[in-house]
Structure 1
Amino acid sequence: MPSLQTVRSVKNAFSLFLTLCCLLAGKTIQAGSYGVNPVKLTLSSRNSTQVMTVRNNGTQAAVMQVELASWSQTRGRDDYAPTRDLLATPPIFNLPPGGMQIIRIGLRRAPDPQRERAYRMFLQEVPPPPKPDATGLQIALRISIPIFIAPSSPATPVLRWKATRIDEHTLKIEVANTGNLHDHLSAYKIYRKGSNAPFLSQKLFAYLLPGEKREWTLATGVMPNPGETLRVSATTDAGAAEAELAMDKP
């Protein structure tokens, strides 16, 4: 029989996998037997409430619980903490087969005048009590929804890129968001000056909150010279973004 720690590890890993799949799904989440729309919320002083629809596309009734958390980042790591800045109603509800529930999310704190704030809403399936003859693991589905609070002043993301040589076959690519609004990266390509063929490319799913940075260490068969000017083409929520970056010395 697996230990309690093993059971928790498997459950947490599976929950994380489902959360990632949900985030990659597009405008409407289809996770397991549930559909959620929209997949991202933005609140502001002018629009302090939003609604979200949760549908049960399965054949079994479910109990769902809503959790709200503030969201920050530390060099690419997501950190969450309980918050009272937002209110979600109802916080817990029954969802019959084929049923639908509307969740209302409201802002309880004035927006920051200068910088966007970020939060997460977690929709957690509450598993029923196990049957006496049940065997195996019970997996509770957990869906993560980003919520952004727009600042009072105009806001935009500003991405700054940097490339650093680690060794003769390895580059570190770093991007910092020096703006006051989040950005979302889904891919980037890096070109040498005058070339139309990228020598590095990567697909990803990366939110970059204001004031935060992310980095990736990549193997490459082409090593630019120190000080050489490179070009990066990134795919973001706002479309394609072009920028120059210079090779740093290690």
Structure 2
Amino acid sequence: MHRAISCILLALAAASGTACASDLGVAPVVVQLDPHNQRTALTVTNRGADPVVMQAEAVQWRRDASADVDLPTADLLVNPSVFTVPPGQSQLVRVGLRRAVSSDREETYRIVLREVPQPPRPGEVRQGGQVQVLMAMRVPVYVAPPTVVRTLHWRAMQAGDGSIDVSVQNGGNVHARVRSLQLRSAHGSAIAPEQAAVAVVFPGESRSFRVADAARAGAHPMTLEVTTDQGAQLVPVAARAHR
């Protein structure tokens, strides 16, 4: 499915005014590589009316205090690195590993696709205060180790305000994608609306969430149904400790 991952506004002048962004899409939106599958390709599609010049580069994707950090890398080959996509057409961008997979833990990268600013077309007049909107798309690239281990440790506890504090620790060697949290009664019925909790948890990383609107459950036993890309599981909700 074609869709833009993110959009960056680049102000080419300090005053107000906006030029329309390009209509771009990329597929797939996630790349998975492993020792037996070390190459793939992205398709960048221009759904707009004008040609678009794009720059593609690979970066190492790290997490520092729950914040995403992009670092330079030479581990991935991206070809072509600069290309023009005519209106209504697509460009194939090949991605491949430059070296064999040797780590026992998943390695994470991103392919960053940036629109290159272009000079005005013949006859086009840009006002001095106009801002040009440029598209940037980031595609995650996950490189799995030879042996994959998937282990998630969940905890859920009632908080004083009636909500539920939830934490997950990834004890495996590949990422996990959290999709939703659903609070249920001891009989399995939904207590609160399903809560989207889209997040990527790297190997060795911990993440926290909060489920609101749980006060109506009172003191009855509760479970939390957590759904990830590894499936669904039920987590007991511990009662709040009273002092």
**Aligned partners of 1:117 and 1:148 also within 8 Å:** yes
> Quick one: distance in 1 between partners of 2:24 and 2:93?
14
The residue that corresponds to 2:171 in the other structure is: 178
2:8 and 2:146 map into 1 onto residues whose CA distance is 35
How many Å separate the matches in 2 of 1:199 and 1:143? 35
TM-score in terms of structure 1 length: 0.76
Report which stretch shifted further, 50-59 or 123-132: 123-132
- The answer to whether the 8 A contact 2:7-2:137 is kept is no
User: In structure 2, what is the equivalent of residue 214 of structure 1?
Assistant: 207
In the TM superposition, what are the counterparts of 1:105-120 in structure 2 within 5 Å? 105-120=95-110
Q: Aligned letter for 2:224?
A: V
Aligned length: 220
Whether 1:123 and 2:110 are equivalent positions in the alignment is: no
Q: Distance in 2 between matches of 1:178 and 1:224?
A: 32
Q: Which 5+ residue runs of structure 2 have no aligned equivalent?
A: 1-5, 10-20
Between structures 1 and 2, the one with greater helix share: 1
| Residue 167 (structure 1) aligned to one of 160, 173, 184 | 160
Q: Is the 8 A contact 1:187 1:201 kept in 2?
A: yes
**How much has 1:222 moved relative to structure 2?**
4.0
> Residue in 2 aligned with 1:138?
132
Q: Which residue of 2 aligns with 1:20?
A: none
Output the amino acid matched with 1:67.
E
Aligned twin of 2:15: none
Compare relative contact order (CA 8 Å, sep 6+) and give the higher one, 1 or 2: 2
Q: CA deviation at 1:123?
A: 0.8
Residue 88 of structure 1: aligned partner: 78
Normalised by the length of structure 2, the TM-score is 0.78
* SS in structure 1 at match of 2:8: helix
- Asked if 1 retains the 8 angstrom alpha-carbon contact of 2:46 and 2:88, the reply is yes
Contact 2:106 2:143 in 1 (8 A): yes
Q: Which runs of 5+ in 1 are unaligned?
A: 1-12, 17-30
2:53 to 59, 63, 74: 63
Question: In 1, distance between residues paired with 2:92 and 2:207?
Answer: 35
Instruction: Map Cα deviations across residues 50-98 of structure 1 (whole Å, 9 max, x no partner).
Output: 1111121211011101121111234543222121111101111111112
Distance in 1 (alpha carbons) for counterparts of 2:117 and 2:54: 9
The answer to whether residue 235 in structure 2 is matched with residue 241 in structure 1 is no
1:112 Cα deviation (Å)? 3.9
Contact 1:224/1:247 (<8 A) preserved: no
**CA shift in 2, pair 1:76/1:248, >3 Å:** farther
> Structure 1 stretch 62-71 or stretch 190-199: which is displaced more?
190-199
Amino acid at match of 1:101: Q
Query: AA paired with 1:245?
Result: P
Deviation at 1:120, TM superposition (A): 0.9
What residue identity is the alignment partner of 1:237?
A: D
